[in-house]
Structure 1
């Protein structure tokens, strides 16, 4: 059964064994599953407690990962500012090397930046470059996780955008999914994420979730995808 937990405090990710990887993905959305309006406006759908939660997640991981589209649209810092803790390595998936050179993370010195590019592509100034094979649908999530783990970055937060998050879920590369739902109805705009289509409800993922109620109205669904995969494979 799902568990409802009121008065939720800072999130604690599971303890992992030596050499083990753990990938958590997070998504903030409206009550009707939108992450932005039709014009792309998204700040701020979720409230202050959701932001506190996101920064607490960053403080517990080795790397925070976004696609280049998120860098272009939001110019995020991806640092820990709303709680105690060190900022993780910031990872940008940028196969074609199109990240804007003026993005704040490449110049702020707040934490290392790693740009993942396809072979032969130059990364942005201010970032270390990691070359990986890239197919027509982008990098394979398993390759990304393995390459980061080889650098000692084993606890990874996939923070955005929606397409990057969907690719990781479809590939079975996400162990825990955090969905933050704001009591707001947009009625139109960009949906949270689109996964590979299914034909019957029997094919739907039904992860066990802990449901956390924030005092400013947002609700967090912390979904255990690793256990759901293990159950479906049994």
Structure 2
């Protein structure tokens, strides 16, 4: 298993790549730094088309919270740093309203250098209070996706979409709306149901599952497939890089051909003129 070493110099190179200023093809790196580059640099490239990443932090037995809903310490310190690095590399982070109501997340970048992404809350019925931490005015874009004609505080952008028959919103329409907003790199952070819906819609190019060494025994699962398979031969088996992040083990999964190409070719410099793939 490869061990990632996200040193300050390798993280600065990754941020430079994200800004279109850094060279992705050279450098004298340790094995651990090269592993870190292999994890993050493919996600930092902005000239390889839109990207949607799903992220789940869970226990050994696949739980993201206790039965009572306690989810604060599921991920270890390195798992949390990994999450904040993902936030720093994307244009927008997406969560469902239940996660916003229960966890009160700020969705900011605090555990590594980097800019805060736009914060997107999927709130079909307009339940999220205007004073929720995710809607706090800190200079980052704030977007609420809803079906109702509910006003929001000044500066909060609203995307109104029609609901499906079950009252939810179509993930493909959400991503299309974010593309129209110029948000091409999206992190679907939570909760597990929201990540699963984007996966089932075939919209996630990458899936990061960070597993922490604890056993909970009950509570919500991190990933809930709607489509069940009758045989293990029919189960998806994505190309996966398993990495030791320190306190957590990362399963870095490439779900699509485009994702595999990105992971294999992120260091090449002759792909800037590729036509962007749309969702």
TM-score by length of 2: 0.76
Provide the C-alpha distance between the structure 1 equivalents of 2:184 and 2:258, rounded to a whole number of angstroms.
Answer: 21
Match of 2:3 in 1: 6
Q: Does 1:169 align with 2:199?
A: yes
What is residue 209 of structure 1 aligned with on the other side?
A: 240
Selected match of 2:212 from 174, 182, 193: 182
Deviates more, 1:144-153 or 1:101-110: 101-110
The structure whose residues are more often strand, as a share, is 1
Aligned-residue CA RMSD in angstroms? Answer: 1.8
Distance in 2, Cα, partners of 1:116 & 1:103 = 15
Question: What is the distance in 2 between the residues matched to 1:45 and 1:210?
Answer: 21
Q: Do the aligned partners of 1:209 and 1:222 also contact (CA within 8 Å) in 2? A: yes
User: Is this contact kept in 2: 1:206–1:228, CA < 8 A?
Assistant: no
CA drift of 1:43 comes to 1.0
Which residue of 81, 84, 93 maps to 1:52? 81
**2:259 and 2:52 mapped to 1: Cα distance?**
14
Which has a greater percent of helix? 2
Mapping 1:96-107, distance limit 5 Å:
96-107=125-136
Alpha-carbon spacing, 1:123–1:163, altered in 2? closer, same or farther (3 Å):
farther
Q: Runs of at least 4 residues of structure 1 off by over 6 A? A: none
- Helix, strand or coil for the counterpart of 1:209? strand
Matched, 1:145 2:175: yes
**Alpha-carbon separation, structure 1, partners of 2:165 and 2:97:** 16
Corresponding residue of 1:129: 158
**How far does residue 215 in structure 1 lie from its aligned partner after superposition?**
2.3
Tell me the distance in 2 between the aligned counterparts of 1:188 and 1:78. Answer: 26
User: Which residue of 252, 256, 262 maps to 1:222?
Assistant: 252
TM-score (normalised: structure 1):
0.90
